[in-house]
Amino acid sequence: AQGPQLQKVLERLTGQSTVPNVFIGGKHIGGCTDTVKLYRKGELATMLTELDIKVNHHDKIEHD
């Protein structure tokens, strides 16, 4: 299992050891909280559509 090794590499690259570690188009976005913030500001949809990824604007997510 390479899990611990991958986690060390991700921490070196991103400064973050927690999961998820989200990347979009090769750019590190952050973790769950960071991704939800981008979603709520509408920036996540923009990032995805710029990569020709279809976005369903009717989906709602719950996150504290």
The token pair at 4 is 């611990």
What are the extents of the domains in the chain? 3-50
CATH superfamily name and code, 3-50: Glutaredoxin (3.40.30.10)
User: In this structure, are residues 33 and 61 in contact, taking their beta carbons and an 8 Å threshold?
Assistant: no
Asked whether residue 7 carries a pLDDT value surpassing 80, the answer given is yes
Please determine, for residue 51, whether its predicted confidence score (pLDDT) is greater than 80.
Answer: yes
What pLDDT does 6 receive? Answer: 86
Task: For CA atoms 21, 27, 33, 35, give the dihedral sign.
Answer: negative
Closest C-alpha among 26, 25, 55 to residue 39: 55
Reported as a single tens digit per residue, the pLDDT across 14-46 is 998 888 899 999 999 999 999 999 999 999 999
State the Cα–Cα distance between residues 29 and 14, nearest whole angstrom: 9
Q: Is residue 45 within 8 Å of residue 55, measured between CB atoms?
A: yes
